[in-house]
Amino acid sequence: MSLTPEQCRAARVFLRISQKQLADAAGVSVRTISHFEAGDRTPVRATVAALRRALEDAGIEFLDGDSPGLRLHSRARTGR
């Protein structure tokens, strides 16, 4: 279960949520997300899994494994 910085950023923008909102949902720091999305650092596997799980819980479905493709389930709630 992986997540690229591009997928993380795209999913967050798609959901219209801030780094802080994602950090709160995933139980990680805003700094962790900021560094990850910028490509500065790769978090430990458990942190990446927590980020992905939080995005999936919000309705994001990642397509084709490691590709940057994603979509929002119609039943998902957004940060609007």
Give residue-wise pLDDT tens across range 25-51.
999 999 999 999 999 999 999 999 999
Q: Which of 32, 36, 31, 27 is nearest to 9 (CA)?
A: 36
5-66: what CATH class? Answer: mainly alpha
Q: Residue ranges of the domains in the chain?
A: 5-66
What is the pLDDT confidence band of residue 78, given thresholds at 50, 70 and 90?
very low
pLDDT band at 2 (very low <50, low <70, confident <90, very high): confident
The span from the CA of 49 to the CA of 79, in Å, is 21
Instruction: Give the pairing of strands 60-62 and 70-72.
Output: antiparallel
pTM score: 0.83
> 29 with 41: CB under 8 angstroms?
no
